[in-house]
Structure 1
Amino acid sequence: MDFGSIPFILWFLPAFLIGYYIFTSEQWRKFWIIAATVIFYGISCGMWTAALLAMTAAAILGAYSVKEKGKPALAVFILLFLGILIYTKISGNFMPGVSFLVFTMLSMLIYIYRNKEVQYHFSDLAAYILFFPKLLSGPIAQIGDMPDHYVTTVANRKDAILRRIENGLIYFIIGLGYKVLLANQLSGLWREVQTIGIPSISTPLAWMGILAFTLQLYFDFQGYSLMAIGIGRMIGVYLPENFDLPYLSRSVSEFYRRWHMTLGRWFREYVYFPMGGSKKGLPQTILNLLAVWLLTGLWHGIGPSFLLWGLFLFFWIALEKIFLKRFLTGFFGHIYVWLLLPMSWVFFALDDLADIKWFFLRLFAPILGNSGINVSAGDYLKYGSMYWPFLLIGICLLFIAPEKWMRQRRDKWYVILLLTVIFWGSVYLLAQGVNNPFMYFSF
């Protein structure tokens, strides 16, 4: 069960909201969040539920130990959780959501170490770790951001509750539409490319395929983030935004300040800044960036493709720091981003180095010489005619934030109609069996 499934939408989420608002005590509401998460994770991930509870108990023990013992305890628990993360990556014995879970726990421990005067009840820590909307794919909310929403009693007036649920539903429905109506449909084009065989596709289809993957990844991950934010808003928990129209950027550096913002914030706060950030001169800044991007690649997966992805991005960000940024103005900066970022996703989309090599050969076949044999020189016409509506709509939606536009006009009849169409259109496709797991569940 995930957010984009009929059981979650039609029975789990309504049951969770009803149960949450039946309780008027904030303490009981936190216990309800914990119980709902155990049920949700148990249905979704089965045997891993025991591991989730064991890690949560260890993290809470770590929080109290850090308050009592300070830095030695912090070091022990950081090594413990990093060891768990590294083991799951290397062994392939994959626990769903482990990367997000570990970073959530580490940020909690470091925050408590830095703010020992702040007091948290057991239920505060458990609800923070186990809040199910962010459990499997973020956003990575830090506990320092959360007290006003986890600890403070929220208004319980009927009108306030209904307004809160309405506000959250806008986020949730748009996220659902992103996932089901766009990401799931665009995934078909990328599957077609892989089915044909990468050495056999034409250059136009190669670019069309990586564009489809680029759009699929964005709408899949942004869709999940909006759904998570929406569920939080329904109960007064304000999870941080994870995307800020990243494809409007004019540099790779800017792109990654606007893409997966909570992960970028985590690395800046706990890796880049402690290493000195950009305050110790250009050579040290470049070394710090190299460390951050190698670790970011490894966070996504232990494998050469993710390391190459991290190094590819580091190379361009380092060039921007050294001299390139001054040239990335106006429309040229946008073209630079729109060309480089889809190429970077090749390393994300393919884990076989031979496939990666062939894909780049197909992308630049007219420049490098016609490497490989096309099954059909007109393959892009065939698949373009099938997928052009999704590609076109996806490209347009890269540059606007419909959730903000709709929230500002939520009482208008045309917004209510549009949200209704998106919701029931998504439910209809899900009922037809058109469902793909969220891509970031694999991290």
Structure 2
Amino acid sequence: MKKITIVLSVLILTACGDSSQVKQVKDYVYDNVDSTLTVGNALDNRNICNKTKWDSYKDERDRNIVEYTCEFKKDRPNQFLNLTFSGIAGNLKTMLVDKNINITLDDYAKFKEEEERNKNKNVKYPHYTVYKNHIDAKARSYIEAKAKLVIYDELKKALLEIEKSNALARYQENRKYLLSNKATIKMEVSDYVATGIYGYNDDQTRGLLSCDPFFDFDYFHYAPTSNSDFSNKELAKRIKQIKEDLTSIKKILSKHNLDLYKREDPKLVTLYRYNGSISVHLYNDYSRLVFEYLLQGNSAKNITLNTKDGKKTTLSVKNYQEILAYLEGVENGIVRGIVEKIIDPYNQNITNKINQFEKRSKDIKTESYQQKIKWVLIGERKPSLMGCELEFKADGYPSVKSDSSMSSSCFQNAYKSNYVDQIYNQPIMSFINMVAN
């Protein structure tokens, strides 16, 4: 019995000990990596490994192979996965577009400036950013409509102030007098004075009754310039009053940063900066129509407007407020259309991605993460490093291996007991990119 016991003990010791090939590798010292550590001391004492294992075997070409395996602890990879997917979700949240962005005139000015910069650069879809929210170029109508609503709101305030002013009441009274006594007045004054009052060939686009608060008689040769042009003192008094009242009305508009010009300009709205503030020039815009309606006096009438699709629509209105309400409705309709067709689908797509990554940050867990280092042994020669790779596997996904070109760095960093992010996170990043895409 004693002999049998001794034999079993020897067998057990042989089975548990390292093979001669493994011992040859573990006893080797890489002077260029760390001359103070043998391979065995370096790789068997790492606090990132749950356990280590050494094997020796013959490969298909009858070579002696020694293989080292380190099973990494899972806490670090799991933490890295959670932070990365949570970070991706957080970044996506910053890309959500607020459906109720308030476009200021300064925002709109920057938008127009960017558009102008890209005009000759063959940029098909320039991107505009408002309050850190990305809006695709296809939503440019949203920006313009929002800016128009800001302008209409300011116009509403200005017109309400004008409506309550003494200047408007007196202007309307004098305007009514000039129109009611048109035939008599034209007989009493010269042709150039009549043109200054009623416009050329009675076209009221540039005359005194054009309702243009910026119409300045002194800049036109046919305009009356002094009371000496009139034998009718009552007419002279009324002309003077109209000029005074238009000046007062102009000041109210300027206080609200609005300039209403009637010009043949292709731009509906232009902005200009003066002393750090932005003023609005409205050319060929319906704002002008609303303003004229107010100056002419509220009365029921039909007006014809061009719609966005190039057609015409006729409105029966009683006052300027009804025109303004219609114009605001048109711009609000554009905003709703952009929200429903572009912003909502865009936000929904981003939201779906956010939900996916937030779920992954909770659900994806490391199944295994290991490092394998292999050497080939040829006789008594020094062990030749064949490769060093890391293999990462998460539950329910195929495994991902490290880049083979990193073998040298992989091996050298194995001498360090802690993680070296550049090496050890590389397979995890490959896995994240695979899942993210």
TM-score (norm 2): 0.18
Larger radius of gyration: 2
Q: When the two structures are superposed, what TM-score results if normalisation uses the length of structure 1?
A: 0.18
Structure with higher helix content: 1
Higher share of residues assigned strand: 2
